[in-house]
C-alpha cells in the first residue's frame, strides 16, 4: 500500500450521485482508497473503489463484496463502519465507509517508534476488542497487519483504534459452516509476515489465527522488528511454520520490554493454537494485567498503601512517559518494517501449477485454500522453479511442523500451578470484603438473562474503560453482569476497581470471578494482587 498524492480519474467527480471524491489516500492490490464527501450529509467518508480491470475477476469481486459483507456485520467502535456498497455510473464497484482522521499503524511505527509499553498495550487492547466482537459474530479477519489498523488521536482519547479491511475475512454462518468459498483450490490468503502457521500451511483456521497475527503485531510494536526476517514470501511462510521466534529482548536489548510482555508475545506466537491465549478477551485481560503490574511496581510503596484513599478520577492505562524519538527509527533499521512489494496485496493469483500439488497437510474444510497466494499482481511473476521451491518448502515445513509440534505441548508460563494459593478470608484487609460471601447470592431469574443487552453494556464498558472513565465503565459492566453474570465480566469489574484504587471492591469481584471460573488464566495475577493488598511483598 502506498500513499499517492497525484491527480486521478475520479478526483473531483461525484460517484453514484452521492459521493464527491476529494483526494486519493491509498492504493492497494484491489483498487484505490479516496477521501470523499457524502453530499447529503456533508460528511467526510472513505470510498474504496475496485480497479476497473479487476471487475471481470470473479474472485476479486467476491473478495470486495465480502469485505462489505463482513464489516457490515460488525458494530463495534473499534471496527470500521461500512456505510454503503454500490456501483458508479462507469460500472466501478465501491464501498463507502467512515473516514478515520488518523494514520495507520505502519505509518505510526515509522514515525514514532519506539513506543512505550503502556501505549502499545492500549493500542493492541483495542485491536483485541474489535477482534473479540468480530469473532463473536463469526468473522475471522485473517489479514491483520499494521496497514489495516488506523489510529486516530481523539481529543481526550489518544490512540483510538479502528480495524480495517475485512476483505479476506472468513465468515462463518450460524450453523458453523463457512460462507461461500472465497478462494479457489490452490490458494491461501493473508500477508506472509503476519501469517499463522496453520494459515501458511493451508489448514483450517479459527479465531486463534488472528491472535497469532496480534502476536506478530505486538512483537513489531515493541521491537520495531518482525519476528522473522526473509526476502521472500516462501521464506516467511517457512519460518512461521518451523522456526521459534527469537525472544524480543534478544533482538532488541536496548528496548524496554517487560518480562511479562515478552512471555505473552512468545505465547501468542506459539505454533500450536492451543498454546496461545484462548481468545481475544483472555489476551486483552493478560495485557491489562501486565500494564497494571508494571504500574504497581513502578509506584513507590507509600502510594500503594494509600491506594484505597485515592480519588475516583485516576486514569486507566495512564500513558507511560514517552521515550525520546532520538533513538533508532524504523526507517534506519535494516530489515525492519518495510515495503515488501510482493506482500502488499494479500490475495493474489499463484500460477496454476501449484494447484496440482497436493496439500501436504490437507484439512477437510480447507482444500480450497491450500497453497500460498503471495505472489505479485502479475501471476506470471513467480517462475516455475520458484513455485516448485515454494511447494517443496511448504511441504517440508508442514512435515517439520507436524513432526515437532503435534506432540505434547510444553506447559505455558501462564499455567496455574496446582498448589497456587486461593484467596482466603483471613488474608484480606480488615476493611476489605468477606471473600467467602458471594456478591450475588441470589439467583438471577432466567428471563433476566438478556445476553444481547448485556453485550451492549459490556461494549460500552470497554469503551469507557479505554477512555479512562472508570466509574462509567464499572456501571456498564455491572449492568452487563446483572443481565449475564459471566466470569469475564467479574474479571473486568475487578480490574476496573483495581485501577480505580478500590482494592476491596476489586478483590471481591475477583473472588467472584475465581468462584465462577476456578481455572481462570487470571488466577495467578489475582493472587499476586491480593498479596500486595495484604501487605505481602510483590514477587
Ligand X SMILES: Nc1ncnc2c1ncn2[C@@H]1O[C@H](COP(=O)(O)OP(=O)(O)OP(=O)(O)O)[C@@H](O)[C@H]1O
Helical ranges in 307-363 per DSSP H: none
CB of 193 to ligand X, least distance (A): 12
Count Cβ atoms within 10 A of the Cβ of residue 299 and give its class: 0-12 exposed, 13-18 middle, 19 or more buried: exposed
Question: Do you find a cis peptide bond into 114, omega within 30 degrees of 0?
Answer: yes
CB of 377 to ligand X, least distance (A): 10
| Nearest residue (CB) to ligand X, 182 versus 473 | 182
Residues annotated catalytic, as ranges: 143
CB of 327 to ligand X, least distance (A): 25
Per-residue HEC secondary structure of 386-400 comes to: HHHHHHHHHHHHHHH
How many CB atoms neighbour CB 368 within 10 A? 15
| Nearest residue (CB) to ligand X, 66 versus 288 | 66
Q: Report the residue closest to ligand X, judged by CB.
A: 28
Give me the residues that bind ligand X (CB under 6 A), please: 1, 25-26, 28-31, 33, 46, 80, 97-100, 104, 147-148, 150, 164-165, 167, 344-346
Residue 48 among known ligand-binding residues: yes
The residue to which cell 449492568 is assigned: 479
68 with 87: CB under 8 angstroms?
Answer: no
Residue 133 CA neighbour count, 13 Å, CB half: 26
How many CB atoms neighbour CB 98 within 10 A? 14
Helical ranges in 353-502 per DSSP H: 384-405, 451-466, 470-483, 487-499
What is the Cα–Cα distance from 386 to 392, expressed in whole angstroms?
10
CB of 48 to ligand X, least distance (A): 6
| Nearest residue (CB) to ligand X, 362 versus 381 | 381
Phi, psi (5° rounding) for residue 93? -85, 145
| Nearest residue (CB) to ligand X, 337 versus 508 | 337
Cα separation values, 399 from 359, 362, 395, Å: 11, 12, 6
| Nearest residue (CB) to ligand X, 165 versus 262 | 165
| Nearest residue (CB) to ligand X, 346 versus 373 | 346
Q: Which of 65, 54, 62 is nearest to 29 (CA)?
A: 54
CB of 199 to ligand X, least distance (A): 15
What is the Cα–Cα distance from 85 to 48, expressed in whole angstroms?
10
Residue-by-residue DSSP string for 235-268: HHHHHHHHPPPPPHHHH-TTS---HHHHHHHHHH
CB of 325 to ligand X, least distance (A): 21
| Nearest residue (CB) to ligand X, 23 versus 517 | 23
CB of 33 to ligand X, least distance (A): 4
Q: Which of 415, 62, 396 is nearest to 270 (CA)?
A: 415
> Which residues lie across from 47 on neighbouring strands?
34, 96
From the centroid of its chain, how far is CA 73? 17
| Nearest residue (CB) to ligand X, 157 versus 344 | 344
Helical ranges in 269-376 per DSSP H: 280-298, 301-305
Phi, psi (5° rounding) for residue 305? -65, -35
Give the sheet arrangement for strand 43-50, strand by strand: 14-15, 19-27, 31-38, 43-50, 93-98, 82-87
Q: Which of 244, 152, 205 is nearest to 363 (CA)?
A: 205
CB of 487 to ligand X, least distance (A): 35
Binding-site positions for ATP: 48
Binding-site positions: 48
Amino acid at each position: 500500500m502506498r500513499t499517492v498524492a497525484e491527480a486521478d480519474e475520479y478526483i473531483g467527480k461525484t460517484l453514484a450521485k452521492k459521493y464527491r471524491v476529494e483526494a486519493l489516500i491509498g492504493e492497494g492490490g484491489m483498487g484505490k482508497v479516496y477521501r470523499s464527501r457524502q453530499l447529503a450529509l456533508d460528511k467526510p467518508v472513505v470510498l474504496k473503489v475496485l480497479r476497473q480491470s479487476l471487475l471481470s475477476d470473479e474472485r476479486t469481486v467476491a473478495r470486495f463484496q465480502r469485505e462489505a459483507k463482513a464489516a457490515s456485520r460488525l458494530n463495534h467502535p473499534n471496527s470500521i463502519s461500512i456505510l454503503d456498497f454500490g456501483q458508479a455510473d462507469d460500472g466501478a464497484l465501491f464501498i463507502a465507509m467512515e473516514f478515520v482522521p488518523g494514520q495507520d499503524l505502519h505509518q505510526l511505527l515509522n514515525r514514532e517508534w519506539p513506543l512505550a509499553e503502556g501505549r502499545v498495550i492500549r493500542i493492541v487492547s483495542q485491536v483485541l476488542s474489535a477482534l473479540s466482537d468480530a469473532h463473536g459474530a463469526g468473522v475471522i479477519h485473517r489479514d491483520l497487519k499494521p496497514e489495516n489498523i488506523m489510529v486516530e488521536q481523539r481529543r481526550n482519547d489518544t490512540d483510538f483504534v479502528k480495524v480495517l479491511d475485512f476483505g479476506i475475512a472468513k465468515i462463518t454462518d450460524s450453523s458453523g459452516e463457512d460462507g461461500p468459498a472465497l478462494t479457489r483450490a490452490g490458494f491461501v490468503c493473508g500477508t506472509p509476515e503476519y501469517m499463522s502457521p496453520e494459515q501458511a500451511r493451508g489448514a483450517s483456521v479459527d479465531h486463534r489465527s488472528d491472535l497469532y497475527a496480534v502476536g506478530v503485531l505486538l512483537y513489531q510494536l515493541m521491537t520495531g522488528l518482525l519476528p522473522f526476517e526473509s526476502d521472500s514470501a516462501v521464506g516467511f511462510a517457512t519460518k512461521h511454520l518451523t522456526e521459534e521466534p527469537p525472544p524480543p529482548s534478544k533482538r532488541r536489548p536496548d528496548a524496554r520490554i517487560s518480562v511479562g510482555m515478552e512471555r505473552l508475545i512468545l505465547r501468542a506466537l506459539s505454533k500450536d493454537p492451543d498454546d496461545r491465549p484462548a481468545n481475544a478477551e483472555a489476551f486483552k485481560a493478560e495485557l491489562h494485567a501486565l500494564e497494571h503490574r508494571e504500574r504497581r511496581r513502578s509506584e513507590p510503596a507509600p502510594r500503594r498503601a494509600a491506594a484505597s484513599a485515592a480519588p475516583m478520577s485516576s486514569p486507566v492505562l495512564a500513558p507511560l512517559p514517552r521515550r525520546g524519538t532520538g533513538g533508532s527509527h524504523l526507517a534506519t533499521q535494516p530489515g525492519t518494517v518495510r515495503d515488501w512489494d510482493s506482500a502488499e496485496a494479500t490475495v493474489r493469483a499463484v500460477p496454476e501449477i501449484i494447484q496440482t500439488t497436493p496439500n501436504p497437510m490437507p484439512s477437510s474444510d480447507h482444500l480450497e485454500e491450500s497453497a500460498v497466494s503471495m505472489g505479485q499482481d502479475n501471476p506470471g511473476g513467480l517462475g516455475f522453479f520458484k513455485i516448485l521451491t515454494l511447494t517443496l518448502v511448504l511441504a517440508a515445513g508442514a512435515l517439520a511442523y507436524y513432526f515437532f509440534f503435534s506432540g505434547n505441548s510444553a506447559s505455558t508460563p501462564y499455567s496455574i500451578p496446582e498448589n497456587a494459593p486461593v484467596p482466603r478470608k483471613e488474608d484480606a484487609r480488615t476493611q476489605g470484603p468477606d471473600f467467602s460471601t458471594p456478591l450475588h447470592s441470589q439467583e438471577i431469574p432466567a428471563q433476566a438473562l438478556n445476553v444481547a443487552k448485556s453485550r451492549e453494556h459490556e461494549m460500552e464498558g470497554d469503551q469507557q474503560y479505554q477512555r479512562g472513565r472508570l466509574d462509567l465503565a464499572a456501571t456498564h459492566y455491572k449492568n452487563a453482569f446483572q443481565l449475564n453474570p459471566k466470569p469475564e465480566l467479574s474479571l473486568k469489574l475487578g480490574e476496573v476497581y483495581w485501577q480505580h484504587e478500590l482494592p476491596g471492591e476489586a478483590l471481591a469481584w475477583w473472588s467472584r470471578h475465581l468462584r465462577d471460573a476456578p481455572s481462570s488464566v487470571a488466577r495467578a495475577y489475582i493472587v499476586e494482587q491480593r498479596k500486595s493488598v495484604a501487605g505481602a511483598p510483590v514477587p
